[in-house]
Amino acid sequence: MVFLSELKSKIIQTLELETELAAFSYPPQSNLGDLSLSCFALAKIRHQSPEKIAQELLVKIKNNLELKKYFSTIKTVGPYLNFFISSEYLATRLIKTIQREKNDYGTSPTGQNQRVMIEYSNGNTHKEYHVGHLRNISYGDAISHLLTASGYQVLPVSYINDFGIHVAKTIWNWQRHPVYNERPEPKGYLLGRCYAQASQLLKDNPSGKLEVTALMKEIESRQGKNYQFWQASRQWSIDYFNAIYQELNIKFAHIFYESEVVNEGLKIVKNLLAQGILKKSQGAIIADLEQYDLGVLPVIRTDGTALYVVADLALASEKFQKYNLKQSIYIVDVRQSLYFKQLFKILELMGYHKKLLHLTYDFVTLPSGMMSSRSGNIITYQELKDKISAQLLLETKQRHAGWNPAKITKVVNNLTLATIKFEMLKVNAHKIITFDITESTKFDGYTACYIQYTYARWRSVLRKSVWTDLLIKTDYQKLTAKQEKLLLLKMAKYPEIISEAAQKYNPSALTKYLFELAQLSNDYYHEVNILKSSPVIKKVRLILVRTITQVLVNGLDILGIKVLEKM
């Protein structure tokens, strides 16, 4: 049981309260207490004022001998019973817990090893990997880490659409512009440029659209020159995506491809037609879900080519049959909300009564406006990375004129990837991100650079310290500064933050927490000269610093960010 949860349980037991009636919170100001018990729910049950309930509970609890070792003061503030945690007990218990658990501090067995599959980074071959995709992959990876930390057996997977009409559009245009073969950029990147151009060329171009349809049918037949070129160009995209995954340190248990499941999906469509779940309409095949207020979902086009849902039905079947899942989570942007409701309803009608969840996230925009891969108005992953790197390179060179180029490059690369992930996660998934490169690379704001700098600063303090005082007794009573207790309380809340972020699928709660911890610790750094403290005090303060760095490491790791020892 984590530290603060244990204290809450002791209070509940001592006061003989029903757990569901014990509404704990944290006072907004330290002079009001460290932990607060609201008496409103109890007042409703007992038909008394909450202020009177608080006074009665105080009488019952204040002379309890067991609780006296945990709390220095207990008092009422209106309808609240407020507790001041003993600084010595807090420091001793918390620091020892973090020292013992290290990288496991903050984890819990809540998930009971239930198997959950998280599907994200559902990119399209033959299209570019742009800044919008980065929100998906950063969010999916963070959710995967949060659920793992909460005791779930997580299977992160990706589903790549390598067989849609966009493929035919790209190949159609590639064939018309041989210059793409001659350009030096990675071919996976060039396919995205080619697709954007194709989308423009096919506007108001009926004959071109017919050619694309014919090309798609040839690819679906799995024979002929266009199919062979599809195989080759598909691999260019896969190699390009894999290079990005490796750079971002994203690991999948399995990657599914539409081309591998679409034939099974067509068999499912045939069976659903026979069962009446799907029906033919004007030459197409549809799912009429009007009776469920979900509209109509096209399944097969009038030209006979398959839509996304065909492969999704087969993929869902394979997931549950092969992996014995407790839950399947799909991370796809908010535009697909209706589609996933429709997909889940069809699966329900097929007899799949499984826990399915569509986690949505909103758009990423530029200060100049919205992006579109069709129009080519996007910032690609490579372009974004280059712009951020250029900004951070200037900053790092100014800070460390004596560093060699290799060291500077290593730091800049780390900060660049950290910045990308942090910016994608610090905004709640339901809100739009406007990615501002200048703001995101500041060293004194709500940024990855600020938190990384905080960690590196404390590591520098630890390197400068001479641990010749190991035989000196560790006296946690010496941690009497106001900032020290605030830091201890903040670190004590870390397991609750992880639990809450996992339950609400909200990594932004963790980014906010890490920023606040960094702020507190920087204030401490400026107000307390640790290295000039007396040996007894210095030792316990350095131990406190070690616990701060451990919590920062743990939190950044869940966000998929590696710490920097120097910067």
Residue pLDDT, tens place only, 403-449: 999 999 999 999 999 999 999 999 999 999 998 999 999 999 999 99
Which of 85, 105, 132 represents a domain boundary (last residue)?
85
pLDDT tens digits, one per residue of 437-457: 999 999 999 999 999 999 999
Same domain? For 10 and 128 the reply is no
The domain tally of the chain equals 3
Domain end (from 37, 59, 85)? 85
291 and 250 belong to one structural domain: yes
Question: Which helix (H) or strand (E) element contains residue 192?
Answer: helix 187-201
The verdict on 357 and 390 lying in the same domain is no
Is 567 part of any domain? no
Query: Is the predicted pLDDT of residue 303 greater than 90, yes or no?
Result: no
* The pLDDT of residue 382 is above 50: yes
CATH code for the domain in which residue 76 is found? 3.30.1360.70
CB neighbour class for 227 (10 Å; exposed up to 12, middle 13-18, buried from 19) = middle
Q: Are residues 386 and 347 in the same domain?
A: no
Same domain, yes or no: 246 and 300 = yes
Instruction: Tell whether 104 is covered by a domain.
Output: no
Are 218 and 227 within 8 A, CB to CB?
Answer: yes
Lowest-pLDDT range of 311-315, 467-471, 499-503: 467-471
Phi (first) and psi of residue 278, to 5 degrees: -110, 165
Per-residue burial over 449-480, b = 16 or more CB atoms within 10 Å of its CB, e = otherwise: bbbbbbbbbbbeeeeebeeeeeeeeeebebbe
Q: Domain residues for 474? A: 381-558
DSSP-assigned letter for residue 305: P
Whether residue 376 is contained in a domain is answered as: no
144 in the same domain as 285: yes
Is residue 138 within 8 A of residue 244, CB to CB? The reply is no
Q: How many CB atoms lie within 10 A of CB 12?
A: 16
Same domain for 295 and 341: yes
Domain CATH code at residue 244: 3.40.50.620
| Residue 497 sits in the same domain as residue 387 | yes
Q: Are residues 318 and 231 in the same domain?
A: yes
**Is 480 part of a structural domain of the chain?**
yes
Residue with the bigger pLDDT between 267 and 353: it is 267
Residue 332 within any structural domain of the chain: yes
Q: At what angle do helices 337-349 and 308-323 cross, to 10 degrees?
A: 60
pLDDT grade for 360, boundaries at 50, 70 and 90: very high
Sorting pLDDT into bands at 50, 70 and 90, what band is 557? very high
Nearest C-alpha neighbor of 462 from the set 517, 391, 531: 531
Are 359 and 417 contained in the same domain? no
**How buried is residue 233: exposed, middle or buried, by Cβ count under 10 Å (0-12/13-18/19+)?**
buried
Residue 373 has pLDDT above 70, yes or no: no
Determine which helix (DSSP H) or strand (DSSP E) holds 76, and give its type and residue range: strand 71-77
- Residue 95 included in any domain: no
Helix spans in 222-325 (H):
225-248, 258-275, 308-323
Task: Identify the pLDDT of residue 128.
Answer: 85
Q: Which long-range contacts (CB under 8 A, 24 or more apart) does 369-377 make?
A: 371/130, 371/131, 371/132, 373/127, 373/128, 373/130, 373/192, 373/195, 373/196, 373/199, 374/195, 374/196, 374/199, 374/200, 375/196, 375/199, 375/200, 376/193, 376/196, 376/197, 376/200
Task: Mark whether 275 and 134 lie in a shared domain.
Answer: yes
Q: What is the CATH number of the domain that holds 457?
A: 1.10.730.10
Query: Is residue 373 one of the residues assigned to a domain?
Result: no
Tell me whether residue 107 is in a domain. Answer: no
40 and 154 together in one domain: no
Residue with token string 């195989």: 231
Task: Determine contact, residues 219/226, Cβ cutoff 8 Å.
Answer: yes
Closest CA to 219 of 204, 207, 234, 238: 234
Q: What is the mean pLDDT of residues 218-233?
A: 95
Check residue 19 and give its pLDDT: 85
Percent residues over pLDDT 90 in the chain: 83
Given pLDDT bands bounded at 50, 70 and 90, which one contains residue 20?
confident
* Amino acid (1-letter code) at residue 538: K
